[in-house]
Amino acid sequence: MPSCCCLLGLGFPSPPSALRILRRRMASRAFQLRLNPLTGDSEWLVVEEEEEEDHHPTPPPKQLLATTSYLDMLNDSARNRAYRRAIEAAVTDPSSRVLDIGAGTGLLSMMAARALAAVGGETRGGSVSACESYLPMGKLMRRVLRANGMENRVKVFHKRSDELKVGDDLDSPADILVSEILDSELLGEGLIPTLQQAYDMLLAKNPKIVPYRATTYGQLVESTFLWKLHDLHNNEANAADGVWLTPGEMERIVSVKPQQHAMQCDALEDEIRLLSEPFKVFEFDFWKRPDSHREANIKIRTTRDGYVHAIISWWVLQLDSAGSIFYSTAPRWARQSSSEGPQRDMKDWCDHWKQCVWFMQGKGIPATEDQVLSLRARHNQTSISYQLNINDEACDRSSKGDHLTLLPERIALYGDKDWRSALINTIKNALTVKSSPTCVVADDSLFLALLISSMSPTSKVIAMYPGLRDKGAAYLRSVADANNFSIDQIQVIGKRASSITADDLKHKKVNLLVGEPFYLGSEGMLPWQNLRFWSVRTLLDSMLSEDAFIMPCKGILKLCAMSLPDLWRSRSSLKDVEGFDHSVVNETLGACGYLPGDQQGPCLPYYVWQCGYTKKLSKVYSLMDFNFSEPIHSCFGKTKIEFSHDGTCHGFAVWIDWVLDERKSVVLTTGPDNRYWKQGVQLFSKPVEVNPGKSVMHVEASFDPSTGEITFSSSSTTCS
């Protein structure tokens, strides 16, 4: 908390009263980081807890929490129903003291308060305490509690659970703990250390815990798609184009992070070959203090020949001690054959809990039918890892030398033969008319820096690497010899464009300005936030030669009308959630559908191919051009969509196609058919029934260069 910490760090003594005031101020504010997508600069937004004079909590900024999973979670009726039933089963003593850790909107706390009232708890000393450390969510919770008349029945604490103290915050230790601090891997949100601290400091002896237990499962699979997401070395060997991001004996110098990666695996069901039955990995008993570390050795019998490319994992939650209330994140094929008891409805798609994928090394582990493989699983406080052995020989996952970790989709793209070929041909054509050029790689592209240096030994390559910085420089030094260029050719600046001066370029004009574009850390953002490349080009305008080659030379905003029923349901506005009014959260959480005044929700980034059931209802339309030969400026575009299929249109997918050369002969698309890119999804205020030849939709969009944002508006008409 920068402003407060500066006051305490000056070295001057402060009177106790001043310190108390300062601490109160620190406890009543939070700092939300906001990124400018066009510059990479960030700023802190202050969120205050202060309330208005009539004691109505002031709402957080509009759509502040739109990119979180809260809305999707609250729209998961199976989850909500399971927690309600388990809480009602646990709250049987009217004097129960309930603690909700990670309370969110307060839904579980209100369930507990209602259950407590049903057994006479309001007159017998029962209580409910809600702990939510994220202040914007805490403010939202107070509004929800007030809307449901619960503000005096749930005591709210805006602090971490390890900051709570019995006798200070809590009158006495809690008899019942409810929590939902679970992620797709189960442990990633700090479930184990949170429970350990609660058992040590906050809970009575033999407390009731909701959820009661969780069991993790795995399954060995073969999948060409999953293989491409992690094995860059063998995929670029297949490309055979002479550029080596992972040269021999440095196969792991660029890799995915060795962790479980969340993914909607139902979307891969038709292309995955199952090589084993599901197997149990770990059982976590939350009814007792959990261990920090454990190891399990599991024997797995394969069911067919193949290559083990990955382990797909999921978990099953038992919410009650009687073993009658379950919730599962298993993929569809496992739920259909499972005997684990009542689980999530197979029709329910949700985005907040996915399956997880653990990648095997290299080409995968060969297996023959009926072979017994040995799997070693380990967990620490926040993650689960795997090591698959054959004949008890460990498959070493260690990386040697200076290495970089990238997201699986970026690894797959770097190994994609067609993508590489497009860039190679474009750069080769540019270099035929540029002798000894000065080239600036305007983003964090590993491929372009290597490509130009190896193709043009007399070139001077300046890699901006605003995200990779020193790590990028160390990587280039390691692979220079294998790519037949001198490291002296490359200068890594490690700066943003706004900080670059003519001195950094040795007062030479730039002949080539190139980018993929790719900026490390921005992979989860909306597609047009890669228009940062245009902003960089503008900032470097005075340093470009008159005939500078710019790649890409243009971006084209594309869209396609879509039927997205599963995504729509998960993002739709809230009203009643298990008997509690949640309508006050809709604007802050970025909900869509049936809002006052036909308000439209925000455009959000998704891998459309992972969005449950999807159907294209129109052809692809161009909406707006971004011409990088010009300095950045505002843009406007509009188009008329004519539908090619019947269906319910919930919105449209939006993306950018990158035109690499001025002849428009090389175009890289990032649309829904390309599974390595996220698209923007704009959901409508209401779904629209459409018919070919009868339904027409008009879409307009405007780009604001000061914020990097694109806003959309649409209207539909039906001809008789």
Give catalytic residue positions.
Answer: 180, 189
To the nearest 5 percent, what fractions of the chain are helix, strand and coil?
25, 30, 40
CA distances from 463 to 451, 460, 500 (A): 12, 10, 12
- Please list, residue by residue across 651-686, b when 16 or more beta carbons sit within 10 angstroms of its beta carbon and e when fewer do: bbbbbbbbbbbeeeebebebbbebbbbbbbbbbbbe
CA distances from 272 to 45, 223, 265 (A): 45, 5, 9
- Name the nearest CA neighbour of 262 among 376, 371, 384, 149: 384
Beta strands 273-274 and 695-704: pairing type? unpaired
HSE-CB at 677 with a 13 A cutoff on CA atoms is 27
User: What type of residue sits at position 107?
Assistant: L
Element (H, E) at 269: none
- Two structure tokens written together for 392: 């008890």
In whole angstroms, give the CA distance from residue 425 to residue 192: 52
Q: In the beta sheet, which residues pair with residue 712?
A: 701
Q: Which residue has the tokens 């694109």?
A: 710
Q: In what order do the strands lie in the sheet with 384-389?
A: 294-301, 372-379, 384-389
625: three-class secondary structure by DSSP: strand
Residues 6+ apart with CB under 8 A from 128: 98, 100, 109, 112, 113, 116, 153, 154, 155
In whole angstroms, give the CA distance from residue 287 to residue 212: 6
CA angle 282/286/291 to nearest 5° reads 60
C-alpha R_g of the chain: 28
